[in-house]
C-alpha cells in the first residue's frame, strides 16, 4: 500500500510540475495596446514573435485607464501603451502589481494649435488644454515651461514630484489652463488656442507632430513607453520572447521608416 501511495504521489507531482511548466511556457498571449500607431507597430511584432513560437492576440483600447485594469484583472497577459511615470502614478493610486519588462518607443508630446503657428502668437488669456491625469498633466506643464509660457515652483515637475496648475508661479500671458481627459483634447482643440496632446491621440485625429505643433518635447526624455506585465509573470519565458520580438531590428526599422521621427525606438 505504501509503495502504491508513493507511486501515486510521484505521478501527481509530475502532473503538477508539467502543468506549471506549461503555464510558464505559454505560447499564446493577449496584449493590450492603444489604437493607432501602437497597433500598427504590434502587427510587425506579431510576425516576429510568431517565428519564435509566440502567438500574440492584440486587444485595442481607446483610453489610458482600461489597459492596466484589464492586465491586473488577468484579462490581458501584458500591455504596451504607457510610460513609466504614468505606470507609477497608476500603481500609487490603484495598488496594481504591474511592472515594466522592456522599453518600446518614445512618442514626443506636442502642443498643437489650429489657430497659431508659434507660441509667440498666443494672445493674452489664451485657453490652453492640458491632460488631467497627474503624469501627463505634469508633462504638459514642463513643456509649457520649456516653451517659456509659464514658470513652475522650484522642485516640482521633475524628480517624481508632479506639477499641477496650482504650481505655476509665473504666467506672463495669463494663459487659462483647461484640464481635460487626454482622449478629449483633440476634439476640444477647435475651442482652444492650443492643447497638449499625446502622440497616439494626435495621430488618430489626423494631427502631425511636424506640421501642427507650436512646441515639442525633447525626443529622448524620461517618457519612453514600455511593455508591462504582472509582477508574478515578469520572469516567464513568454515575457522574454515578447520583449525580444519588440526590440528586434525589424521592428526598429519599421518605426523609423513608418513614422519618420514622430516616434523613436527607445531600445
Give the CATH number of the domain where residue 98 resides: 3.40.190.10
Among candidate residues 197, 216, 235, the one where a domain is terminated? 216
Q: How many domains does the structure of the chain reveal?
A: 2
Is it the case that residue 18 has pLDDT exceeding 50?
Answer: no
Write out the DSSP string of the chain: -HHHHHHHHHHHHHHHHHHHHHHHT--EEEEEEETTHHHHHHHHHHHHHHTTT-EEEEEEESSSSHHHHHHHHTS-SEEEEEEHHHHHHHHHHH---EEEEEEEEE---EEE-SS-SSGGGPPTT-EEEEESSHHHHHHHHHHHHHTTS-EEPTT-SSTT----GGGEEE-TT--EEEEE-GGGHHHHGGGSSEEEE-HHHHHHTT--TTTSEEEE--SSSS-EEEEEEEGGGTTSHHHHHHHHHHTSHHHHHHHHHHHTTSSEE--
Return the percentage of the chain with pLDDT > 90, whole number: 81
pLDDT at 8 over 60: no
**191 and 260 housed in the same domain:** no
Answer yes or no: is 3 within a domain: no
Q: Are residues 181 and 116 part of one domain?
A: yes
Residue 21, pLDDT above cutoff 80? no
Choose among 65, 30, 63, 70: nearest CA to 46. Answer: 30
Q: What pTM did the predictor assign?
A: 0.76
Do 177 and 244 lie in one domain? The reply is: no
Shared domain check, 114 and 97: no
Tens of pLDDT, residues 72-98: 999 999 999 999 999 999 999 999 999
pLDDT at 1 over 80: no
Express each pLDDT in 128-143 by its tens digit.
999 999 999 999 999 9
Q: Is residue 78 part of a domain?
A: yes
**By residue range, what is the domain housing residue 54?**
19-108+222-265
Q: Are residues 57 and 128 in the same domain?
A: no
- What is the predicted pLDDT for the residue at 203? 87
Residue 2 in domain: no
Res 160: pLDDT: 67
Rg (CA), the chain: 22
85 and 119 within one domain? no
| pLDDT at residue 17, rounded to an integer | 47
Q: Are residues 233 and 102 in the same domain?
A: yes
- pLDDT exceeds 90 at position 226: yes
d(CA 133, CA 139): 10
- The gap from C-alpha 68 to its chain's centroid, in whole angstroms, comes to 10
User: Are residues 97 and 160 both part of a single domain?
Assistant: no
Residue at 12 is within a domain: no
Whether residues 125 and 155 fall in one domain: yes
In a domain, 7, yes or no: no
Q: How confident is the model at residue 23 (pLDDT cuts 50, 70, 90)?
A: very low
By mean pLDDT, which of 57-71, 177-191, 213-227, 235-249 is the weakest?
213-227
45 in any annotated domain: yes
Orientation angle between helical segments 84-94 and 134-146, nearest 10 degrees: 140
Query: Is the domain of 92 the same as that of 128?
Result: no
Does residue 32 lie within any of the structural domains?
A: yes
The answer to whether residue 249 sits within a structural domain is yes
Main-chain phi, psi angles of 42, to 5 degrees: -70, -20
pLDDT for the residue numbered 20: 47
Same domain, 124 and 209: yes
How much is the average pLDDT of 165-176? 98
pLDDT at 221: 75
Residue where a domain stops, chosen among 216, 231, 253 = 216
Q: Report whether pLDDT(244) > 50.
A: yes
Kindly state whether residues 36 and 159 are assigned to the same domain: no
Q: Are 129 and 256 in contact (CB under 8 A)?
A: no
Amino acid at each position: 500500500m505504501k509503495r502504491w501511495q508513493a507511486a501515486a504521489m510521484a505521478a501527481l507531482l509530475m502532473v503538477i510540475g508539467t502543468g506549471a511548466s506549461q503555464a510558464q511556457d505559454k505560447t499564446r498571449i493577449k496584449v493590450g495596446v492603444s489604437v493607432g500607431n501602437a497597433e500598427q507597430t504590434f502587427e510587425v511584432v506579431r510576425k516576429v514573435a510568431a517565428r519564435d513560437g509566440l502567438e500574440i492576440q492584440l486587444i485595442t483600447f481607446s483610453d489610458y485607464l482600461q489597459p492596466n485594469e484589464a492586465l491586473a484583472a488577468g484579462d490581458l497577459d501584458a500591455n504596451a501603451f504607457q510610460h513609466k511615470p504614468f505606470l507609477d502614478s497608476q500603481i500609487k493610486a490603484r495598488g496594481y502589481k504591474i511592472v515594466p519588462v522592456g522599453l518600446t518607443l518614445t512618442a514626443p508630446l506636442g502642443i498643437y494649435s489650429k489657430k497659431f503657428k508659434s507660441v509667440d502668437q498666443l494672445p493674452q488669456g489664451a485657453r490652453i488644454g492640458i491632460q488631467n491625469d497627474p503624469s501627463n498633466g505634469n508633462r504638459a506643464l514642463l513643456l509649457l515651461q520649456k516653451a517659456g509660457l509659464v514658470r513652475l515652483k522650484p522642485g516640482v515637475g521633475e524628480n517624481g514630484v508632479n506639477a499641477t496648475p496650482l504650481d505655476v508661479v509665473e504666467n506672463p500671458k495669463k494663459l487659462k489652463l483647461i484640464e481635460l481627459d487626454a482622449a478629449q483634447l483633440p476634439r476640444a482643440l477647435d475651442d482652444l488656442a492650443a492643447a497638449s496632446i499625446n502622440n497616439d491621440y494626435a495621430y488618430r485625429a489626423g494631427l502631425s507632430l511636424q506640421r501642427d505643433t507650436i512646441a515639442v518635447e525633447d525626443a529622448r526624455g524620461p517618457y519612453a513607453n514600455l511593455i508591462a506585465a504582472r509582477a508574478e509573470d515578469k520572469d516567464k519565458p513568454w515575457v522574454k520572447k515578447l520583449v525580444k520580438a519588440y526590440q528586434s531590428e525589424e521592428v526598429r526599422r519599421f518605426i523609423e521608416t513608418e513614422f519618420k521621427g514622430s516616434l523613436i525606438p527607445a531600445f
